[in-house]
Amino acid sequence: MILFLAARPVTSPTLGSARPGGPPSPVRPAPRRRRARFRPFAPYRRIFAVPGTRAFTAANLLARLPMGMLSISAVLMIAGSRGSYALAGAVTATGLAATALAGPWTARLVDRYGQARTAVPATALATLGSLSLLLCVHYNAPDWTLFASYAATATTPNTGGMSRARWAHLFRDDPAARHTANSFEQAADELCFMLGPVLATLLCTTLFPEAGTAVGAALLLTGVLLFAAQRRTEPPVAARTADHPPARSPLRLPGLPPLLLTFLCTGAIFGSLEVVTLAYADAQGIRSAGGGMLALQAAGSCAAGLLYGLLGPAMGVPPRSSRAWGRSGHRFLGCTAAMAALMLLPLLAAGTGSPVTLAVALLLAGMATAPTMVTGMGLVQSLTPPGRLNEGMTLAVTALLAGIAAGSASGGWAVDHLSAGGAAYGVPVAAAALALTVTLLTARRRPSGSPSPVS
pLDDT band at 342 (very low <50, low <70, confident <90, very high): very high
Minimal CA–CA distance to 182: which of 41, 400, 380? 380
Give the residue with greater pLDDT, 213 vs 423: 213
Structure confidence at residue 2 (pLDDT):
41
- Residue pair 157/224 in contact (Cβ under 8 Å)? The answer is yes
Long-range Cβ pairs for the range 248-257 (8 Å, 24+): 249/388, 249/391, 250/383, 250/384, 250/385, 250/388, 250/391, 250/392, 250/395, 251/395, 253/383, 253/384, 253/453, 255/379, 255/383, 255/442, 255/446, 255/453, 256/380, 256/383, 256/384, 256/392, 256/395
Number of Cβ within a 10 Å radius of residue 449: 7
- Cα 313 from Cα 179, distance rounded (Å): 8
Check residue 68 and give its pLDDT: 77
| Structural domains of the chain ordered from first start | 54-237 (1.20.1250.20), 250-455 (1.20.1250.20)
* Cα 280 to Cα 353: distance, rounded to the nearest angstrom: 10
Q: Which tens digits make up the pLDDT trace of 109-158?
A: 888 888 888 999 999 999 999 999 999 988 888 889 999 998 899 888 88
pLDDT for 20 equals 47
- Burial pattern 72-92, b for ≥16 Cβ within 10 A else e, equals bbbbbbbbebbeeeebbbbbb
First and final C-alpha spacing in the chain: 78
What would the pLDDT profile of 293-322 be if each residue is shown by its tens digit? 877 888 888 888 888 777 754 444 444 333
Model confidence at 27, in pLDDT bands (50, 70, 90)? Answer: very low
Helix (H, G, I), strand (E, B) or coil at 108: helix
Give the list of residues 6+ apart from residue 381 with CB closer than 8 angstroms, or none: 164, 168, 178, 182, 317, 389, 392, 393, 455
Task: Identify the top-confidence range among 56-65, 179-188, 201-210.
Answer: 56-65
pTM score, two decimals? 0.71
Question: Which of the four pLDDT bands, split at 50, 70 and 90, describes residue 220?
Answer: very high
Higher per-residue confidence, 278 vs 325: 278
- Residue 289 pLDDT exceeds 90: no
The residues facing 323 across adjacent strands are 451
- Counting residues of the chain whose pLDDT is more than 90, the rounded percentage is 15
Question: 241 pLDDT exceeds 60?
Answer: no
What single-letter DSSP state applies at residue 312? -
Predicted confidence band of residue 420 (pLDDT cuts 50, 70, 90): low
Note the pLDDT tens digit of each residue in 383-412: 777 677 777 777 888 888 788 778 877 777
Determine the 3-state secondary structure of 323 from DSSP. strand
Confidence (pLDDT) at 446: 52
pLDDT at 50 (0 to 100) = 87
Please report which helix (H) or strand (E) contains residue 401, including its range.
Answer: helix 389-417
Report the pLDDT averaged over residues 251-276: 82
DSSP letter at 250 equals: G
